[in-house]
Structure formats: C-alpha cells, structure tokens
A and B are shown apart, each in its own frame.
Chain A
Amino acid sequence: MSVDAIHQLSLTQLAAAVSAGEVSAVEATRATLERIAQRDPTTHAYLHVDREGALQQASQVDAARARGEALGALAGVPIGIKDNLCTRGLPTTCASKILEGYVPPYDAHVIERIRAEGGVVIGKLNMDEFAMGSSNENSAFGPVRNPWDATRTPGGSSGGAAAATAEGLAAATLGSDTGGSVRQPGSYCGVTAIKPTYGRVSRYGLIAFASSLDQVGPLARDMRDAARMLGVISGHDPRDATSVDRPVDDYESECGKDVRGMRVGVVKGMTDRGCDASVKDAFAAALSRLSSLGCELVDVDLPHRDHALSAYYIIAPAEASSNLARFDGMRYGLRVSSDDLQSTYARSRGAGFGPEVKRRIMLGTYVLSAGYYDAFYLKAQKVRTLIKRDFTQAFERCDVVLTPTAPSPAFKLGEKTGDPLSMYMQDIFTLPPSLAGIAAASVPCGLSPEGLPIGMQLCAPEFEEKRIVRLGHAFETAIGWNSHPAGY
C-alpha cells in the first residue's frame, strides 16, 4: 500500500489495512502528520498536534500486532479531538485565552474509549470558544478555513473537527454538539456527523457548556465510519450521572440494510422561510432519491419549531452562565490579580473570555436573575416540553424526520460576525432535536451551484441511532457521495 494514499482510505478501510498488516500504524500516523504539516497552515484546524505522543501510540498498536494480539476497532487510525475534550498530558483550551496552556491530568471517557480500541489521538482541534458559535470565528486563536473554499467558514462550533475530517487531516474526529455543533459544520464541510441521544455518550471530561444539551459526537467521511466511531464512544459510564445504562446497538451492522418501506417524515413548511434556494433544491432532490429507494414520504408537523431558537438561547446561556463560573482564576487557567478576591475573579474572567462567551454569560445570568426566572428560563423549559411532544407525535407517523441541516451552505468569513442574531439563525433546524434530546445526524446530500456541500438532517427517536445509520448509509451509497474538496 502506498503511504501517500492513506488519506484516500475510509476509517474502516484503514483499520482493516492496519489489522491485516498492509500498512503499519506508524506509517499511517506519519502520513497524517505529514499531511497536517502541508495543509494545516492554511486550514488551521489544529490547535495542537501531538507528534511524539501519536507516534508512540501507533508503535504500541504495531507492537500488539507483532505479538499476535487482536487489534481494536480503530487500530492505528489517527483521530482528531475537539479541544473541549480533556486529554491527559495534552493541552485542552476550549479555544479560550482563559484556559491557554491548561493540561488536564486525565482523559475524557470518550478518549479512554478511543485509545482502548487502538485509535491514535493525533491532536486537538480548533473550535468556537467554549463551543459557543456557528462559524469558528469565536476561537481566541483564529478561525478555521473551510477546505472547500478558504474564504468561507467551516461552520461551528466543531469547525476544526469538520474541516480536518473533510481534508483528510484525521481519519475521523470527535466533536461536541449542544445545539448543532457537529451537524452544522458537518453540513458545511461535506462530512457525516452524528449527535447521539442525550445520555448515550458519557460527558465525563467534556468541558461543560450546557449540561442538559451537550453530547459528544463523531464526524467522519461516511456513515459507516461514523457508525463505528459511535459504537466505540457509546455506553454507560458511572462518572457521568446522566449517562444511560442500556446496551449499545451494533450500529455498523445497519449499513447495507434495506430501507424499503421506511417512513420518512417531511416537516410541513420547513423550508418555506429563510432557506437558501440551493438548500431547497438539494433537499427536494434528496427526497425524490429516498422515494426511489422505496422509502415512504409522510407529511409531519412540528408546530412549535419556530420557538426553538428563543427557548434554546435562554436555556443554553443560562446553563453556561452557571457552568462557566468555575473559570475564576483560582485552580486553573488565567488569573489577573487585583486588590481583593471578588475583583480578581471579575478581572480574570473579563480578560480571559471572548465577546461571544461574555454575551452568553450575561444573557444567562440575566434570565436567571431575580424576577426573570419564570418569564424566561421556566417558560423556555415549558416550550421544550411542547417541542418534545411535537417530535413524539411526528414519530407516531414516521421512522425518521428529515430536514435540511442548515439554511444555507457555508457563508463567508466575517459575513455574520456583526450580528449575533443572524448567526444564531444558522441553528434553526438543528435546535429542535437538541431540545428534545433525540438522536440526529447530518449527512451530505449534494453540492450547491457554486460547489459547496449541503447537508440534510436525519432525526430519530431517543436511542434509535440505528435508524439514522441505516437510512444515511443507504442514501450516501445511492448518491455515490465521495466528494472531496478540490485538490484532495
């Protein structure tokens, strides 16, 4: 096998090649490091590349193979990690100045799982600061560029993860999704991204943003790869009290299964307002493709979906304002010393957090402050009930609910930075399933006239990720999706 061709292999192909001895884990890792060195100066997907550590992990995989041991599901596969997941001995900054130089003394649960299956942690990926943003422009260390068009955003907040996956700077990556943060960048970069059901994947070692919404999810070059990653990271972990103790399905075995007779719910009027023509066209084409695969298209309604934006931008900032109280300059991170304790807190936080994080802390503190709790936070949690009920009713009529992932293809860097609300609007399709806690994914469904990827969102009831894998894989196979950015 030519080492130059390693980025052409899917994750499952590469793991098979390593297990069969066609390529060594060290060769695969070196090839990926080389590609990062060539391409990442432009893309800026990585905040930290662990050259030495990655090669060491890879040589352990090769040694295990030489001893005749069975190798794991991710044997020798280079995996990139969003920088809000704690990695022992490797910087973890959340792309924030307040955590610059922080090195955690432990691995997140999902990192333990990746390592246990022979995956090679190759580095830490750029993101919007504390996962707050939809364009990666909120990184304190400079934005990521979209591999399909360097003048455009890769989406956010897992923009580094999506860009690295699209450009072959890792075989697959791990991101996190609170309101769309793996799905929307997945859509913008033409990769497959899964947000698992809330509770499916342990949040232990994921630096918290909004605890009732955060989930870790994989981004991969196709659904089979994503399914394998999901299988590796899923499962009960007592260190996260919201981790659910139920068996993990064999997601990968859904790939290749028949989708005839699957009922696909199409939400009434979903693309009527605020949706780019290219997205409408790609979505319509995807529906007729699914129909030709034998799926049954059914109309469903999500009558309260228009209220998801308000509800989310109350709930998520409220939870964030509480979670981010821990960054006070005492135990880790930046400290700006002042006269007394209170002003040391305030000045450390004022100097360490960027504008969007400050905005959300202020918004969240405001809606939780005396006199406003009932009007904002409690009301938003009631709207969440209505949105969850909408999905429950929709799933009585269909197996999977389908929407576009984002209202437009990737927009230009700088295009929306002056207007927080227009940035928040990028999340209108991804927010309802997040609030409902259900499983959702973005799958590439075509290219816009200017050659930018467009994704569609597949939503399934809680713990029914296998439906998403089955339908997504069948769809990707049918359209022959293997598109890469020019010059891949």
Chain B
Amino acid sequence: MAQPKITLDAVRHVSKLAALALAPDEQERMCRELDSILGFMAELDTLDVSKVEPTFHAVPMQAALRADVVVPSLPRAELLAAAPAQESGAFAVPKVLDGDK
C-alpha cells in the first residue's frame, strides 16, 4: 500500500464521514496518531497476498435464516424509556427534511 501522509484535511474529511465532531486540538492529535499507526501498518507491504483469498469469517458457517413466524417484540414503552426524547409513542428526532425544499 502506498502510504499516504495523513493531513489535517484528511482528518476533517474522515470525521465528517464518521459523523464525529472533533475539536481543533483533537484533530491535530488524531492527525499525528493516525499517521503513526497507519505508518506502522505499512509493514504489511512486505507480504505478497495477491494469490490469497480473504477470510471475512473465521469459522465456516452457513447463513442462518430464522423461521418466518411472528414473535412478540419488546414492549414499546420500555424501549422508548431509553430515548433522549419521545413523542406520541415514537422517538422524537430533529427535523430530517427541510420543509421548503
């Protein structure tokens, strides 16, 4: 892998992808730390894996399908009890769509 130097711009881009707000000092620290960790991982370049199949799942198993039957869900009130905000038996969340568009 060509080792890219991690820039502050890259950190800002990735933090946006991750929906993770980072303060300016956190961004700078992240920049240094990611650079050091990813730099260490460049050691994988010494391996030729071009003919190796990936192992996404360590133990071979078949995808399991459950029986297609209705089973009781967890009680709505108990699930909503953990929500930061609720309204009319539903999760209350910030507006998703801009009304005018």
Tell me if A252 is interfacial: C-beta within 8 Å of chain B.
no
- Please report which residues of chain A, range 233-280, place their CB below 8 angstroms from some CB of chain B when the two chains form the complex: 238, 241-242, 244
The interface residues of chain B lying within 8 Å CB-to-CB of A462 are 59
CB-based nearest A residue for B58: A437
CB-based nearest A residue for B85: A335
Contact with A along B76-92 (1 / 0, CB 8 A): 00110111110000010
Tell me if A197 is interfacial: C-beta within 8 Å of chain B.
yes
Contact with A along B59-97 (1 / 0, CB 8 A): 101011010000000110011011111000001011110
CB-based nearest B residue for A370: B17
Q: Which of A244, A306, A309, A338 contacts B61 (CB 8 A)?
A: A244
Tell me if A16 is interfacial: C-beta within 8 Å of chain B.
no
| Min distance, Cβ A413 to any Cβ of chain B, angstroms | 21
Complex Cα–Cα for A256 and B44 (A):
44
Q: Which of A290-298, A358-366, A466-474 contacts the other chain? A: A358-366
Q: Let me know if A241 and B33 touch, CB within 8 A.
A: no
Tell me if A477 is interfacial: C-beta within 8 Å of chain B.
no
Query: Which of A105, A309, A362 neighbours the largest number of chain B CB atoms within 10 Å of its CB?
Result: A362
Q: Let me know if B58 and A384 touch, CB within 8 A.
A: yes
Given contacts A310-B44, A314-B41, A337-B94, is CB(A369)–CB(B1) below 8 Å? no
Complex Cα–Cα for A341 and B33 (A):
29
Q: Which of A65-73, A113-121, A345-353 contacts the other chain? A: A345-353
Given contacts A241-B63, A349-B21, A369-B14, is CB(A329)–CB(B84) below 8 Å? yes
The interface residues of chain A lying within 8 Å CB-to-CB of B33 are 359, 420
CB-based nearest B residue for A347: B21
CB-based nearest B residue for A334: B84
The interface residues of chain A lying within 8 Å CB-to-CB of B6 are 366
Tell me if B54 is interfacial: C-beta within 8 Å of chain A.
yes
Q: How many residues of A contact B (CB 8 A)?
A: 76
Complex Cα–Cα for A325 and B17 (A):
11
Q: Let me know if A362 and B18 touch, CB within 8 A.
A: yes
Given contacts A238-B66, A335-B85, A381-B54, is CB(A341)–CB(B94) below 8 Å? yes
Q: Let me know if A349 and B44 touch, CB within 8 A.
A: no
The interface residues of chain A lying within 8 Å CB-to-CB of B49 are 379, 382-383, 386
Complex Cα–Cα for A347 and B22 (A):
8
Tell me if B57 is interfacial: C-beta within 8 Å of chain A.
yes
Complex Cα–Cα for A380 and B13 (A):
23
Q: Let me know if A241 and B64 touch, CB within 8 A.
A: yes
Tell me if A429 is interfacial: C-beta within 8 Å of chain B.
no
Query: Which of B38, B74, B84 neighbours the largest number of chain A CB atoms within 10 Å of its CB?
Result: B84
The interface residues of chain B lying within 8 Å CB-to-CB of A334 are 84
CB-based nearest B residue for A366: B14
- Please report which residues of chain A, range 360-394, place their CB below 8 angstroms from some CB of chain B when the two chains form the complex: 361-363, 365-366, 369, 372, 375-376, 378-386, 388
Query: Which of B19, B23, B43, B78 neighbours the largest number of chain A CB atoms within 10 Å of its CB?
Result: B19
Q: Let me know if A363 and B37 touch, CB within 8 A.
A: yes
| Min distance, Cβ A375 to any Cβ of chain B, angstroms | 4
Q: Which of B20, B41, B75 contacts A313 (CB 8 A)?
A: B41
| Min distance, Cβ B91 to any Cβ of chain A, angstroms | 6
The interface residues of chain A lying within 8 Å CB-to-CB of B64 are 238, 241
Given contacts A334-B84, A335-B85, A381-B55, is CB(A105)–CB(B18) below 8 Å? no
Q: Let me know if B58 and A341 touch, CB within 8 A.
A: no
Tell me if A311 is interfacial: C-beta within 8 Å of chain B.
yes
Q: Let me know if B34 and A343 touch, CB within 8 A.
A: no
Q: Let me know if B19 and A349 touch, CB within 8 A.
A: yes
Tell me if B30 is interfacial: C-beta within 8 Å of chain A.
yes
Complex Cα–Cα for A383 and B52 (A):
8
Contact with A along B2-13 (1 / 0, CB 8 A): 100010001101
Complex Cα–Cα for A338 and B61 (A):
44
Complex Cα–Cα for A366 and B63 (A):
29
Complex Cα–Cα for A350 and B15 (A):
10
Query: Which of B58, B66, B79 neighbours the largest number of chain A CB atoms within 10 Å of its CB?
Result: B58
Instruction: Give 27 CB contacts A-B under 8 Å.
Output: A103-B81, A197-B59, A238-B64, A238-B66, A242-B57, A242-B59, A244-B59, A307-B44, A310-B44, A314-B41, A328-B19, A330-B83, A330-B91, A330-B93, A335-B85, A358-B26, A359-B33, A361-B20, A362-B18, A375-B1, A378-B54, A380-B44, A382-B49, A385-B53, A386-B52, A420-B33, A437-B58
B→A interface (CB under 8 Å): 1-2, 6, 10-11, 13-23, 26, 30, 33-34, 36-38, 40-41, 43-44, 47, 49, 52-59, 61, 63-64, 66, 74-75, 78-79, 81-85, 91, 93-96
Given A349-B19, A379-B44, A386-B52, 8 more pairs with CB closer than 8 A: A310-B43, A321-B18, A325-B19, A329-B84, A342-B19, A358-B26, A366-B14, A420-B33
